[in-house]
Structure 1
Amino acid sequence: MQEIQNIENHDGFLTYDYRGHHITLQTSAIYQCQNSALAVEILEYLKEYDYLTFSDKQLLDGLKEAMWAGRFEIVCKQPLMIIDGAHNKEGMEAFYQSARKYSNIKIIFSALKDKDTHAMMELLLKLTDDITVCEFDFYRAQTVEKLAEDFPVKLQKDWHQAIDEAFLHQGVVFITGSLYFLAQVRPYILQYAKKIK
């Protein structure tokens, strides 16, 4: 892969230059630059060997219109709520790199039993000391007690209550961890956000 250049973040959009293209993405997740550049590599390879045909405009429009549900996705604007499926240590590191530019952060977190939640929690605590750990309805979900360990975090078994309280937060709310957790949380937040408009 070639080097990604000139990454800039503008109001929830990322732009960067790659293989002669000036690319715009509907996200502020830095890690999506690498992911989309890989997609460009694959598409250009398929085009070169006549498996696909597309114009540069189609390529750029497709990338600009692409949405990744659950990947640094804004699900509410007042307050700003962003969900991200940082479900392992590497994913949490990528999430951290995008989240650290924000201030007045509140985090709601849950994960599966087989993940390195200790390392994940250490990264989250670099962002804020306002962290709530929750449980969700899935047989592999970790308990709040195990998630919390001895970290200075709040324990709330019922994630619905944690989300309801988060709507009063005056900064940015990140809900992160297991994709199974986000699959339950996302429709709840979207429905709740509609009601309070």
Structure 2
Amino acid sequence: MNYEAALEYLHGTLKFGSIFGLDRITKLLDLMGNPHKKLKFIHIAGTNGKGSTTAFINNILVESGYRTGMFTSPYIQRFTERIKVDNTEISNNELAELVLQIKLKIKEMVSNGFEHPTEFEIITAAAMEFFYRKNCDFVVLEVGLGGIVDSTNVIDLPEVSVITTISMDHTDRLGATLGEIASHKAGIIKHNGTVVLYPQEQEAEEVIKRVAKEKNAKIHKVDFSTISEKSFGLEGQIFDYKDYENIKIGLLGDHQMKNAAVAIDTCELLCNKGFAITHRNILDGLEKTMWPGRLEIINENPLVMIDGAHNLEGGQALNAALDKYFTQKKKIFIVGFLRDKDFKGIMDMLGSKADTIITVTPNNERAVPSAELAQILQIYSQSIIDGMSIENGLQIAVGLADKESVISAFGSLYMIGEIRGHYK
């Protein structure tokens, strides 16, 4: 099996849906010898910020000399981005070999009457086996969706569980209230575990505290009051936090200082457990962290920024960033959304900032067609253009831009990955 055949097989399993539950992944990993039971984890759930926080923690551990696996989703450009060891992606051949071996185990499973695993379960199993083979000291494991019955929750007690900011998203799967969504995220809390908590709205925080109490888990709530910004620009930002001075991060936005604080507190707890992580390791790890598709400047002339904002909280972060970094710039938006997202709510926040809005159709069956989106968004701008394809929309935006402009593309990771591919 080559890489292309492996991807074809994986994507073919989408017909089995995205079904919650741990029975299939538990059985599959059991047939594989339970590689996950031989690894140490930092497990990260949340609505927004979990990818960036995962990347920060990963880089601190790498800087500390630990062989560190990182599992994230979704990917921006390459499928192999999702599985890394010491920031090196799994190779195409390694992935193909793993998928072939897992395919044989699945055949055995199904012949014995078990349900066929989903795509995400197969990818999770492949990652676990890869990290075990690579002798990882740590694995920084990002939840796929929710928490309690997400396939990553097959792990036993992690070194630390981390819950980043929780907001309304995936309401069709996780529940219609903040409390219901929080109960899914809180599902990663294990008995006698340690939890690092990003400060939440009261409804969400009460749920998390209740679950932690039921499981005799200790909560460490991060205190953002000691964050003090010192400088910022398009190259990054510098701030102080607790006794850490002049922390440099390349990721833009006030929310990234908070995500970095969560990473710092997580690594301090690991240090308290006896793992060797120094002040310098933390500063260097944070500074070296890059995370594609999150307020990322991918071109300077014209200025092009991509962002994965696809829910209200992501929209708020993008809104704040546009105000902070691009106050005087003419704003050209390239937007594409999936139908199940609150794109009207996002555009209620951002639409009035646009001088021109160009609509495109993301490459996904759930995408809102660009022509339909252009009709809906007419209320926000007198200059709205149906760009149709992503490539055509980008060409139109570049043609309109000058040195006083910023092109801001957002709304779907499927879309911004394609735009990033034009420059990176």
Q: Fold match, TM over 0.5?
A: yes
Q: Deviations over 1:18-37 (max 9, x none)?
A: 12112111132222111111
Q: Determine whether 1:179 maps to 2:413.
A: yes
Could you tell me the percent identity over the aligned residues?
Answer: 27
Q: Determine whether 1:122 maps to 2:345.
A: no
Deviation (angstroms), 1:86? 0.3
CA contact (8 A) 1:117 1:147 kept: no
Q: 1:83 to 1:188 in 2, by over 3 A?
A: same
User: Secondary structure of 2:315's match?
Assistant: helix
Distance in 2 (CA, whole Å) between partners of 1:180 and 1:159 is 10
Alignment of 1:138-157 (within 5 A): 138-148=364-374, 149=376, 150-151=378-379, 152=381, 153-157=384-388
1:41 aligned residue: 265
- Structure 1 segments, 4+ long, off by >3 Å, are none
Q: Deviations over 1:31-65 (max 9, x none)?
A: 21111111111111111112x21111111011001
Deviation (angstroms), 1:136? 2.0
Count of paired positions = 189
Taking only aligned residues, the RMSD between alpha carbons, in angstroms, comes to 1.6
Distance in 2 (CA, whole Å) between partners of 1:57 and 1:122 is 43
User: Secondary structure of 1:184's match?
Assistant: helix
Q: Determine whether 1:5 maps to 2:231.
A: no
**2:406 corresponds to which letter in structure 1?**
V
Deviates more, 1:29-38 or 1:59-68: 29-38
CA contact (8 A) 1:70 1:85 kept: yes
Distance in 2 (CA, whole Å) between partners of 1:42 and 1:80 is 35
* Structure number having the greater helix percentage: 2
| Counterpart among 83, 88, 93 of residue 316 in structure 2 | 93
1:193 aligned residue: none
User: Secondary structure of 1:137's match?
Assistant: coil
CA contact (8 A) 2:227 2:242 kept: no
2:129 aligned residue: none
User: Secondary structure of 1:100's match?
Assistant: helix
Distance in 2 (CA, whole Å) between partners of 1:141 and 1:89 is 18
User: Secondary structure of 2:355's match?
Assistant: coil
Q: Deviations over 1:109-168 (max 9, x none)?
A: 111110011111112223223111110221111122443314333222112111112223
* Structure number having the greater strand percentage: 1
CA contact (8 A) 1:100 1:127 kept: no
**2:305 corresponds to which letter in structure 1?**
I
**2:417 corresponds to which letter in structure 1?**
A
CA contact (8 A) 1:118 1:147 kept: no
Structure 1's unaligned 5+ residue stretches are 191-197
With structure 2 as the length reference, what TM-score do the two structures score?
Answer: 0.43
Distance in 2 (CA, whole Å) between partners of 1:24 and 1:130 is 34
CA contact (8 A) 2:387 2:396 kept: no
With structure 1 as the length reference, what TM-score do the two structures score?
Answer: 0.89
